Chain A
Amino acid sequence: MPTIYIDDEAYEVPEGDNVLQACLSAGIDLPYFCWHPEMGSVGACRQCALVQYRDAEDTRGRIVMGCMTPVADGARFSMKGGPAGEFRENVIESLMLNHPHDCPVCGEGGECHLQDMTVMVGHRNRRYRGKKNTHRNQDLGPLINHEMNRCITCYRCTRFYNDYAGGKDLSAQASHDHTYFGRQEDGTLESEFAGNLVEVCPTGVFTDRPLVNEYTRKWDMQSAPSVCVGCALGCNTLPGERYGKLKRIHNRFNDEVNGYFLCDRGRYGGSFVNDEQRASFPGLRQSNGTYNAIESIKAIQTMVDWCTSDNKLAAIGSPRASLESNYLLQRLVGEKNFSNGIATHEASLLNQISQILRNSTVATPSMRKVESADVVLVLGEDVTNTAPRLALALRQSVRNLAKEMASAMNIPLWQDEAVRVLAQDQLSPMYIVSMSDTPLDDVAAETLNLSPNDIARMGFAIAGQIDSSLTETKGMMEEFDADTQKIIAQISDSLKGAKRPLIVSGTGSQNATVIEAASIIASALQSKGADDNDAMLSYCLPESNSLGVTLMRTDAHASLEDICQRAADGNIETLVVAENDLYRRAAKEQIDALLSKVKNLIVIDSIDTPTLSQSALALPAATFAETEGTLVSSEGRAQRHYPAFLPAEQRDATWHWLTQLGQALAFPGFDDLEHFDQITAACAAEFPALQNICEASPQADFRSKGLKIPRQTHRYSGRTAMRADISVHEPKQPQDDDTPLSYSMEGNTGTQPGALLPFVWSPGWNSNQSLHKFQSEAGGALAGGTAGVRLLEPMNTGSTAENANLPAKPKAKKDQWQLLPIYRIFGSEELSAHSPAIQELIHKPFIQLTPEDAANLKVSAGDGIVINIENQDCELEVQVNTNIPAGCAGYSVGLPGASWLPPETSVNLKDAQIQSNSGGDDV
C-alpha cells in the first residue's frame, strides 16, 4: 500500500485509489460534490481541491483535484496550506451565486450535502451582487419533484441516470451558467431507477415527491434497518416514519446486495403501509357481511374457540411473510395441515430452483458479483420487471470490457469518463433470450424472443454446444434454422471463453425446462468452460420470501391444491391464512370453492385483499416497517428487517398473533417463544437449510458500547409537541425487548454491526454522503460487516440432476394463442400496487399481440378485448408488439384487474369480444 502525506502526516492508502477517496477513507473531511463512490470521478465541481507538492522541498505546490489525482507512494498534499482552502471556499461561493436561499422550505434541508459542504469550507459572506439565474421546473411524474433553481451543476444526475442506469430521457441541456438538467418536455421519468436521483443529487433539485407532499425532516424521522419486500432480491432499505406514517424509504447500503441504489418499486412501493384500507382492529364478520371491530383479546379467544373445536384445522402461509410467521403457523397446525400458500406449479418451480441451488457446484452470485460477470446469458426472464435492481447490476456487468480495456492502458477505473470514452459503445456480451422485448435489450449483444419451451430448447442447445457429452441436449441444435444455429454457436462460444460467465433465469417464464436449461448451461460451463472459470447461476424469484418458504418446505406439507381438496371433502373447518391473497394463487372459481367450504376462515394480513374480505375473523397484521422478520433473498441471503415504528391501534405482527394464539391454546413449547429471537432460533433448529438464519443479525441483547441502537436521530424533535393536541404529558417511550434497537434518541450508533444501521449521520455530514463514515473505506463494505448471512454456498461436488426436464416442442394449435406472462415493475407486485405513488404508474391489464395477429383479429392498439380465463372474463387493452413470438400473446400478470394466469394457458382470441377504441398507439 502506498504512503501519501497530507499536511505532513503519513497515511497508508489503498493502491489505485484517487486522493479524495483515500482522504475520506483516512477520515479526512475533504469536501466534494461530483465524485460518487459508485460512479467515479469526472472533475466537474472542483470542490475537492488540495495542494500537491513535488517533494518535501517544494513549498509552493499547485492546486490539484483530489478526485482526479491518483495516489502515488510518497506523494505530498496539503488540505490547509497554500491556496487550497481559499479555492474550496471560492468554489462554494460560486455555486451559491445562483443557489436560492430557500433551505427552510427545501425538501433537502437538514440532509443536504451542499449545506454540509458550505459549512465545511467556512464560506459565510456573499460578495456577488448580481441577480440569481432562475429556471422553469418540470413535472417529472408522481415520484420526483424538480426544482432546478437549486442546481449546482455537478452532473451527478445525468451521470447516474444516463451513464449508470441507461436512462434516455434526462439530459444536460443548454450550457454555461444556464445548464439545465431535465427532460425534453414535461413527463414522468422513464427509468425504473429514477428515484435514486433523490439520493444522488447533492442538493434539492430532485426530491422525493411523496415525501415533499407530506413532509418531514430527516432528523424527525424514526427509522430502522429494513429489507425491501417488493421482490425477492432483498435490497436493504431505511424506512423513515413520523406520526405513525411511513414517510419515505431510503437506500441502506449493503456492499454485496444493493450497494447505493434501489429501484423505484422498492423506494416508493412501501407506502402501502399507509394504505387507508388497512384495518386497525380485528374484525368479526356479521351475518350481513360487515365486520364488527373487536379487541385483540376477544380475537384471540375466538381463535382459541375455533382452533380447539376439533382437529379439522389447516393453515396457509405465504412467500411474502417472514420465516418466523410461516414457521409458527405450520407448528400450530402441524406439517400435514400446512401449505406455504404458493400455487402448485409455482411451488414446483421454486422447489426445482431450491434443489438446484442446494446441490449445485455453481455459485449463486450476490448482486455485487453479478456486476463482475464478463458474459451474461439471460434465459426467459424480463429482469427489469421481475427483479429490477438485478437489471441495474447486469447493466454494470456489460461495462467489464471497458474496464478491462482501461486497465490495459493504465487508466484508473474511477476515471469514469475516460473509461467510457475509451470503450465507447463496446460492451461485454449479454445475450437475452426472452419471451418479449425487455428494457435491458439496449445493452444486449443479441436478443431473441421465443416461447418458453423454445427458450428452454435453445438453452439446451447452448449447453450441448458447450459440453458435447451431455445426452439430454442431443439433437436440440439441429432443430433450429441455420441463422439461429449461428447465434447459438456465438452464445456458447462466448460463454465458453468467459472467466466469469453468468446465467440468469427464473420463474418469470413459469416453465420448468427453462429453469433446467439455465442450470445445465451453468454446470456445463463449470466443467467445459474456460480454465478456472467462476460460472454463476442466478434465478429471479417472485416474492420477498419465496426462497425462504421453499427452503422450509418438507414432503409432509400440503399443497394449495391439497388444502382445496380437503376442504371440498369437508375436512377443514378452520383455516388460518397468513399474509396471503389466495386469489393471486389460483383461479377465482377454485378459491371461491375453497373458502365457501371453510366454516371459520381466519385471515391475518396487513393489506386489504379479496381473501381478507371473505374471512370470518380478520386480524390486522403489521407490515415490514412495523415488525421484525427474517426473509431469504433469491441469492440465498437471510436478512432481518426491524420495525421502524410500532403498528397503530391493534395491528400486530403475524408472528405475535400466532404466539399469542399458541400460548392461549397452551400449545406445547409456545411458552418458550416469548421473544422474536427465540422463534428464529426454533425455526433454525427445525430446518437444516435454515440453520444459520440466527446469524443474519445480532440478537436482542446486543449492545453497542453498552447501549441500544437508537431509532431516532440525536436531533429528533417535538416528541411532546406531536401529541400536544391529545395530552401535554409525553408518554413513556415504548420498550423494545425483541431487538437491539430502542425507540429513543439515546444510544450509540457508529460502531454497530452492518445489519443494525438505523440511519447514516455523522458530525458535519448530515446527508446520506455520511455513509463513508460507516464504511471500512470510502465505497467499501460497512465497517460493522455486510448485513445478512448466505445460506447456500456451492457444493464441492455436486449431484447433477437425475432426469433432466426435457422441453417439449411447442405445437401450434389452430386459433389458439399461448399466453406469455408479461411483468411490469409497477403493478405486477402485490404490495407495492397499494402504494399511491406507484398506483399512478400502473397500466391497466393488457394483452400484447403481434402486428399480424392484430391485423387478422381486426384490432388495433388501445382497443379493448375480453378473454375468458378459467371461466372468468377479463378485460384487456390491446397493445401491438412486434417482439411477441408467433402463436403467442403477451398477458400482463398481476396487474390490478388481471385474472390469475394458470401455467401454459392458451386462449382462442378469435372468439374474444372486441371493444373498438381507435386512436391508440402502438408500443
Chain B
Amino acid sequence: MSSLPLTQNINEQRDPVDLAAYEKNHGYEAVRKALKEMSPADCLQEVKDSGLRGRGGAGFPTGMKWSFVPMDDASEGHKYLVCNADEMEPGTFKDRLLMECDPHQLIEGMILSAWTIQADVAYIFIRHEYHLASKLLQEAIDDCKAKGYLGKDILGTGFNLEMYVHSSAGRYICGEETALISSLEGKRANPRAKPPFPQISGLWGRPTIVNNVETLCNITHIIRNGADWFKSLGIGNDSGTKLFGVSGRVKNPGCWELPMGTPIRELIEEHAGGMEDGYKLRGFLPGGASTDFLVEEHLDLAMDYDVIGKAGSRLGTGTMIILDDKTCPVGMVKNLVEFFAQESCGFCTPCRDGLPWTAQVLDDIDTGKGMKVDMATLKNQVRFIGAIGNTHCALAPGAMEPVSSAMKYFADDFEEHIKGKACPYCESNSTAGGV
C-alpha cells in the first residue's frame, strides 16, 4: 500500500501504464472486490467514511454528494456518472498528469463510482486540448471492454456500464458541473440554476454525478484499501493525498502528490525549490486562479480545506500560483479578470458585464489612467460580483477573489499606480501582467 497512491504507477520517464501493467500492480482488484463483495451502499459508506472531499476546487464531501442520488427502484431509467476532465483553471495541470500517465486508475475509479450510484453510462468530459489523454483514455476504455471491465455484465456480475470520452468545446465554463452537463447535451455551456441539483435532475434530466478526475482516481484506492487507510494518509485535518502544483518564479515549478495538510512552506521551498534567484515572494494564489491571495505570513499553514478557508482563501485545485516582487499585482489581477471575463458564458449580468467593467477599471489603473474613485468602484464590484448567490454560478465570485485580496494585500501598489499615473513595475523591466 503506497503512501502516495495516486502517482504510484506514474513514472514520466516511462510510457503510460497499460492494462497489463496496471493489473499487475493490483489494478482492477477494487472493481472485482466491489462488484462481487460490496453493495452500492457499502461502497457509499466507505467513501463517506474516508472523508474524501472533491478535488475539483469546491471541496464538497464526495460521499455526501453521492448520497443525494435516488437509489430506490422507482428511479427507473439511466443514471449518469460524468468525469470532469475539463481542466482549464489557469495554473492548474494536475488532472492531465493522472490521465496521461495512468488512465486505468481513473477508469477503475469511475467503474467503482458508477457501481456506487448504479449509473449505467459514464462520460469523461475532457478538455479539448488534451489530445494525448483523450487518446490514451479511449484506448484504455477499449482494452477494458475487451477484458470485460466495461460494457454489459461486467465480470459476470450483471452490472452494465458504458463509458465514453467526450471532448469539450473548449470553454472554461464547461468545467462548472451544470454548464458541463448543458454542453454534454449539445446545448450552450450555460450553468443551470440549483436546485434541482444534478443528483436529481442532471444530464438528460436524469440523476447525475459529476466528479473531478482526481476525486475519481482516489475512489480506486479507498475501495481497495479502506477508509481508515485513506484517512491515515493525511497529515492535517483532511484525508488522503492530493496533487499539489506550484507555478510562477520558482526554481522547480511542477506537480507533486503530497499528503493533505502539507505545509505551504514545504511545498514552495522544498518541492518547488524556492524562489528563483533575484525574486522574492510577494504572495500566492493557493488553489488556482480563482482563489484569494495569501502572503508570506501564511507560509506555515497546512494545505487543508478548512485551514486555507480560515485564512481567507480556498484550497481550490491545490495548484498554486506565485506572485513575485517584480511582477505587478495589478497587472496580474487584470490578466486574470480579463481571462474570466472572456470565459463568462454571458448568461447573468454581474458576470457578463460586471467582469469586463472590472477589467476595464484594472486596465486603466495598470496603464496609468486610474483615478482615485476607481478604488471605490473596485470595492463596489467586489460587493456586486463577489458573493455566491449574486451570480448564476461561481465563476464570477471566483474571479473576484484575487481582486479583493489583491486590494487588501497590495493596496499600496494600487495607490502607487493611481498617484504615479504609471505602472511602477514597468520601469523595473518586469513582465507586467505575466502569470
CB proximity to A under 8 Å, residues B254-289? none
Contact with B along A417-438 (1 / 0, CB 8 A): 1100111100000000000000
**Known contacts A42-B193, A43-B193, A46-B391; A86 and B383 CB within 8 A of each other:** yes
Residue from B173, B347, B392 whose CB has the most chain A CB atoms within 10 Å:
B347
Contact with B along A685-715 (1 / 0, CB 8 A): 0000000000000000000000000000000
Contact indicator B377/A127 (Cβ below 8 Å)? yes
Contact indicator B384/A44 (Cβ below 8 Å)? no
B380 at interface (Cβ–Cβ under 8 A)? yes
**Complex contacts, B354 vs chain A, CB 8 Å:** 90, 94
Shortest distance from the beta carbon of A756 to any chain B beta carbon, whole Å: 38
B16 at interface (Cβ–Cβ under 8 A)? no
A46, B344: Cα distance in complex, Å: 15
Contact indicator A45/B348 (Cβ below 8 Å)? yes
Residue from B192, B380, B387, B390 whose CB has the most chain A CB atoms within 10 Å:
B390
A155, B349: Cα distance in complex, Å: 11
Contact indicator A177/B193 (Cβ below 8 Å)? no
**Complex contacts, B391 vs chain A, CB 8 Å:** 46
Contact indicator B188/A177 (Cβ below 8 Å)? no
Contact with B along A46-69 (1 / 0, CB 8 A): 110100000000000011100010
Residue of A nearest to B342 (CB): A176
CB proximity to B under 8 Å, residues A734-754? none
Shortest distance from the beta carbon of A96 to any chain B beta carbon, whole Å: 9
Contact indicator B201/A411 (Cβ below 8 Å)? yes
A179 at interface (Cβ–Cβ under 8 A)? yes
Stretch of B1-9, B19-27, B229-237, B356-364 contacting A (4+ beta carbons < 8 Å): B356-364
For B, the interface residue count at a CB cutoff of 8 angstroms equals: 40
Residue of B nearest to A420 (CB): B205
CB proximity to A under 8 Å, residues B347-404? 347-350, 352-357, 360, 364, 373, 377, 380, 383-384, 387, 389-392
**Complex contacts, A482 vs chain B, CB 8 Å:** none
Residue of A nearest to B202 (CB): A421
**Complex contacts, B158 vs chain A, CB 8 Å:** none
B341 at interface (Cβ–Cβ under 8 A)? yes
Shortest distance from the beta carbon of B385 to any chain A beta carbon, whole Å: 8
**Complex contacts, A87 vs chain B, CB 8 Å:** 383-384, 390
A128, B359: Cα distance in complex, Å: 11
**Complex contacts, B195 vs chain A, CB 8 Å:** 411, 418
**Complex contacts, B188 vs chain A, CB 8 Å:** 172, 175
Residue from A46, A49, A128, A178 whose CB has the most chain B CB atoms within 10 Å:
A46
**Known contacts A417-B193, A418-B192; A176 and B348 CB within 8 A of each other:** no
Residue of B nearest to A128 (CB): B357
B309 at interface (Cβ–Cβ under 8 A)? no
Residue of B nearest to A99 (CB): B353
Shortest distance from the beta carbon of B372 to any chain A beta carbon, whole Å: 13
Shortest distance from the beta carbon of A668 to any chain B beta carbon, whole Å: 70
Residue of A nearest to B182 (CB): A421
Contact indicator B390/A130 (Cβ below 8 Å)? no
A152, B352: Cα distance in complex, Å: 10
Contact residue among A62, A68, A128, A175 (Cβ-Cβ distance under 8 Å from B193): A68
Residue from B195, B200, B342 whose CB has the most chain A CB atoms within 10 Å:
B195
**Known contacts A62-B389, A90-B384; A177 and B196 CB within 8 A of each other:** no
B171 at interface (Cβ–Cβ under 8 A)? yes
Shortest distance from the beta carbon of B150 to any chain A beta carbon, whole Å: 25
A278, B83: Cα distance in complex, Å: 68
- A-B pairs with beta carbons under 8 A, tally: 118
Contact indicator B205/A423 (Cβ below 8 Å)? yes
Shortest distance from the beta carbon of B45 to any chain A beta carbon, whole Å: 26
**Complex contacts, A127 vs chain B, CB 8 Å:** 373, 377
Contact with B along A867-900 (1 / 0, CB 8 A): 0000000000000000000000000000000000
Contact residue among A49, A63, A409, A417 (Cβ-Cβ distance under 8 Å from B200): A409
A417, B190: Cα distance in complex, Å: 11
Contact indicator B196/A175 (Cβ below 8 Å)? no
A909 at interface (Cβ–Cβ under 8 A)? no
A806 at interface (Cβ–Cβ under 8 A)? no
**Known contacts A83-B383, A130-B360, A418-B192; A177 and B352 CB within 8 A of each other:** yes
A174 at interface (Cβ–Cβ under 8 A)? yes
**Known contacts A175-B346, A409-B196; A424 and B352 CB within 8 A of each other:** no
B345 at interface (Cβ–Cβ under 8 A)? yes
Residue of A nearest to B359 (CB): A130
For chain A, give the interface size range.
Answer: 35 or more
**Known contacts A49-B390, A63-B387; A94 and B346 CB within 8 A of each other:** no
**Known contacts A94-B354, A415-B193, A422-B196; A176 and B390 CB within 8 A of each other:** no
Residue from A95, A177, A179 whose CB has the most chain B CB atoms within 10 Å:
A177
Shortest distance from the beta carbon of B412 to any chain A beta carbon, whole Å: 23
Shortest distance from the beta carbon of A7 to any chain B beta carbon, whole Å: 20
A153 at interface (Cβ–Cβ under 8 A)? yes
Residue of B nearest to A92 (CB): B349
Contact with B along A136-175 (1 / 0, CB 8 A): 0000000000000000110100000000000000001011
**Known contacts A46-B390, A63-B390; A179 and B364 CB within 8 A of each other:** no
A841 at interface (Cβ–Cβ under 8 A)? no
A762, B347: Cα distance in complex, Å: 30
Contact residue among A63, A129, A155, A424 (Cβ-Cβ distance under 8 Å from B205): A424
Residue of B nearest to A130 (CB): B360
Shortest distance from the beta carbon of B413 to any chain A beta carbon, whole Å: 21
A343, B25: Cα distance in complex, Å: 88
Contact indicator B196/A411 (Cβ below 8 Å)? yes
B343 at interface (Cβ–Cβ under 8 A)? yes
Residue of A nearest to B181 (CB): A421
A344 at interface (Cβ–Cβ under 8 A)? no
B164 at interface (Cβ–Cβ under 8 A)? no
Contact indicator A129/B364 (Cβ below 8 Å)? yes
A95, B357: Cα distance in complex, Å: 11
Residue from A44, A152, A178 whose CB has the most chain B CB atoms within 10 Å:
A44
**Known contacts A62-B389, A87-B390; A421 and B201 CB within 8 A of each other:** yes
**Complex contacts, A175 vs chain B, CB 8 Å:** 171, 173, 188, 344-346
Contact indicator A44/B196 (Cβ below 8 Å)? no
CB proximity to A under 8 Å, residues B156-201? 171, 173, 185, 188, 192-193, 195-196, 200-201
Contact indicator B390/A177 (Cβ below 8 Å)? no
**Complex contacts, A68 vs chain B, CB 8 Å:** 193
**Known contacts A62-B389, A177-B356; A153 and B193 CB within 8 A of each other:** no
**Known contacts A44-B392, A422-B196; A177 and B344 CB within 8 A of each other:** yes
**Complex contacts, B380 vs chain A, CB 8 Å:** 86, 90
A91, B201: Cα distance in complex, Å: 30
A97 at interface (Cβ–Cβ under 8 A)? yes
A172, B196: Cα distance in complex, Å: 24
**Known contacts A90-B380, A127-B373, A130-B360; A155 and B347 CB within 8 A of each other:** yes
Shortest distance from the beta carbon of A680 to any chain B beta carbon, whole Å: 51
B204 at interface (Cβ–Cβ under 8 A)? yes
Contact residue among A62, A94, A172 (Cβ-Cβ distance under 8 Å from B349): A94
A690, B344: Cα distance in complex, Å: 60
A98 at interface (Cβ–Cβ under 8 A)? yes
Q: A411-B195, A421-B205 are in contact. List 15 more A-B contacts (CB 8 A).
A: A46-B390, A68-B193, A86-B383, A90-B354, A98-B353, A127-B373, A130-B356, A175-B188, A177-B344, A177-B353, A411-B201, A421-B192, A422-B196, A422-B205, A423-B205
Q: Which 5 A-B pairs have the closest CB atoms?
A: A94-B353, A179-B346, A130-B360, A176-B344, A90-B384
Contacts from A to B (Cβ < 8 Å): 42-47, 49, 62-64, 68, 83, 86-87, 90-91, 94-95, 97-98, 127-130, 152-153, 155, 172, 174-179, 409, 411, 415, 417-418, 421-424
12 A-B interface contacts by CB (under 8 A) = A46-B390, A68-B193, A87-B390, A94-B350, A129-B360, A174-B346, A175-B345, A176-B345, A176-B346, A176-B355, A418-B196, A424-B185
Contacts from B to A (Cβ < 8 Å): 171, 173, 185, 188, 192-193, 195-196, 200-201, 204-205, 341-350, 352-357, 360, 364, 373, 377, 380, 383-384, 387, 389-392
